[in-house]
Amino acid sequence: MSRYNGQAPHAYNEGLNNYNPAANGWTHTGSIDKSRVDFYEKDNSRMDYYPTTGTVKTSMNHPAQGPTQMFRRGLDADSFGNVCAEPRHHTGQGYQTKASQYYPCK
Protein backbone atom coordinates (compact mmCIF):
# COMPACT_ATOMS: atom_id res chain seq x y z
CA MET A 1 0.00 0.00 0.00
CA SER A 2 1.30 3.44 -0.92
CA ARG A 3 2.14 6.25 1.47
CA TYR A 4 0.06 8.45 -0.89
CA ASN A 5 -3.22 6.55 -0.52
CA GLY A 6 -5.20 9.48 0.94
CA GLN A 7 -6.60 7.43 3.85
CA ALA A 8 -7.60 9.51 6.84
CA PRO A 9 -5.15 9.78 9.76
CA HIS A 10 -5.69 7.73 12.89
CA ALA A 11 -7.47 9.37 15.82
CA TYR A 12 -4.82 11.21 17.83
CA ASN A 13 -6.51 10.51 21.15
CA GLU A 14 -5.77 6.80 20.59
CA GLY A 15 -2.02 7.40 20.65
CA LEU A 16 0.48 8.19 23.35
CA ASN A 17 0.02 11.89 22.70
CA ASN A 18 -2.52 14.08 20.99
CA TYR A 19 -0.21 16.35 18.99
CA ASN A 20 -1.32 16.97 15.40
CA PRO A 21 1.61 17.35 12.95
CA ALA A 22 -0.52 19.61 10.73
CA ALA A 23 -0.05 22.29 13.40
CA ASN A 24 3.55 22.59 12.16
CA GLY A 25 2.75 22.53 8.46
CA TRP A 26 2.97 18.78 7.79
CA THR A 27 0.60 17.48 5.10
CA HIS A 28 -1.01 14.10 5.68
CA THR A 29 -0.56 11.88 2.61
CA GLY A 30 -2.04 8.57 3.78
CA SER A 31 -2.10 5.86 6.40
CA ILE A 32 -2.12 2.08 6.78
CA ASP A 33 -4.59 0.66 9.29
CA LYS A 34 -2.87 -2.71 9.67
CA SER A 35 0.45 -1.07 10.62
CA ARG A 36 -1.24 1.84 12.46
CA VAL A 37 1.04 4.33 10.69
CA ASP A 38 0.32 7.81 9.34
CA PHE A 39 2.42 9.40 6.56
CA TYR A 40 3.26 13.10 6.34
CA GLU A 41 5.38 15.40 4.17
CA LYS A 42 6.77 18.88 4.70
CA ASP A 43 9.19 20.66 2.36
CA ASN A 44 11.69 17.93 1.42
CA SER A 45 11.10 15.77 4.50
CA ARG A 46 8.90 12.74 5.06
CA MET A 47 7.58 11.49 8.39
CA ASP A 48 6.05 8.14 9.37
CA TYR A 49 4.17 8.39 12.69
CA TYR A 50 2.95 5.42 14.73
CA PRO A 51 0.52 7.04 17.21
CA THR A 52 -0.02 3.89 19.31
CA THR A 53 3.68 3.60 20.21
CA GLY A 54 4.87 7.19 19.86
CA THR A 55 7.42 6.12 17.22
CA VAL A 56 8.46 8.58 14.51
CA LYS A 57 10.67 8.11 11.46
CA THR A 58 11.83 11.18 9.56
CA SER A 59 13.58 10.94 6.18
CA MET A 60 15.35 13.88 4.59
CA ASN A 61 18.33 15.01 2.59
CA HIS A 62 20.63 16.34 5.34
CA PRO A 63 22.72 19.34 4.25
CA ALA A 64 26.00 17.75 5.38
CA GLN A 65 25.29 14.00 5.53
CA GLY A 66 23.10 13.46 2.48
CA PRO A 67 20.01 11.19 2.64
CA THR A 68 19.31 10.21 6.26
CA GLN A 69 16.60 8.60 8.37
CA MET A 70 16.05 9.23 12.07
CA PHE A 71 13.97 6.90 14.23
CA ARG A 72 12.64 7.93 17.65
CA ARG A 73 10.63 5.71 19.97
CA GLY A 74 8.25 6.40 22.83
CA LEU A 75 8.03 10.16 22.31
CA ASP A 76 5.82 12.19 24.62
CA ALA A 77 3.78 15.12 23.29
CA ASP A 78 6.56 17.68 23.90
CA SER A 79 9.25 15.64 22.14
CA PHE A 80 6.93 14.82 19.26
CA GLY A 81 6.05 18.51 18.92
CA ASN A 82 9.77 19.35 18.78
CA VAL A 83 10.30 16.81 15.99
CA CYS A 84 7.32 18.20 14.08
CA ALA A 85 8.72 21.72 14.41
CA GLU A 86 12.25 20.63 13.38
CA PRO A 87 12.60 17.19 11.73
CA ARG A 88 16.35 17.15 12.49
CA HIS A 89 15.70 17.61 16.23
CA HIS A 90 17.65 15.09 18.34
CA THR A 91 15.66 13.65 21.24
CA GLY A 92 18.15 11.10 22.57
CA GLN A 93 15.45 8.44 22.13
CA GLY A 94 16.35 6.82 18.85
CA TYR A 95 18.91 6.18 16.18
CA GLN A 96 19.94 7.42 12.75
CA THR A 97 20.76 5.71 9.47
CA LYS A 98 22.37 7.31 6.46
CA ALA A 99 23.02 6.23 2.93
CA SER A 100 26.21 4.39 2.17
CA GLN A 101 27.43 2.11 -0.56
CA TYR A 102 26.33 -0.81 1.62
CA TYR A 103 23.01 0.50 2.95
CA PRO A 104 21.22 2.96 0.65
CA CYS A 105 18.35 4.89 2.24
CA LYS A 106 15.19 5.08 0.17
Chain centre distance of CA 67: 15
Q: Write down the pLDDT at residue 70.
A: 87
Whole-angstrom CA distances from 97 to 14, 19, 21, 24, 26 are: 29, 25, 23, 24, 22
Higher pLDDT, 27 or 106: 27
Q: How far apart are alpha carbons 52 and 42 in whole angstroms?
A: 22
Dump the DSSP string for 7-62.
Answer: PPPPPGGGSS----GGGGT-EEEEEETTTTEEEEEETTEEEEEETTTTEEEEEEEE
Determine the length of the chain: 106
Query: pTM score, two decimals?
Result: 0.74
Q: Tell me: the pLDDT tens digits for 3-55?
A: 777 777 766 545 555 678 888 899 999 988 888 889 999 998 999 998 888 88
Q: Tell me: the pLDDT tens digits for 52-101?
A: 888 899 998 877 777 888 888 888 888 888 888 888 776 666 655 655 44
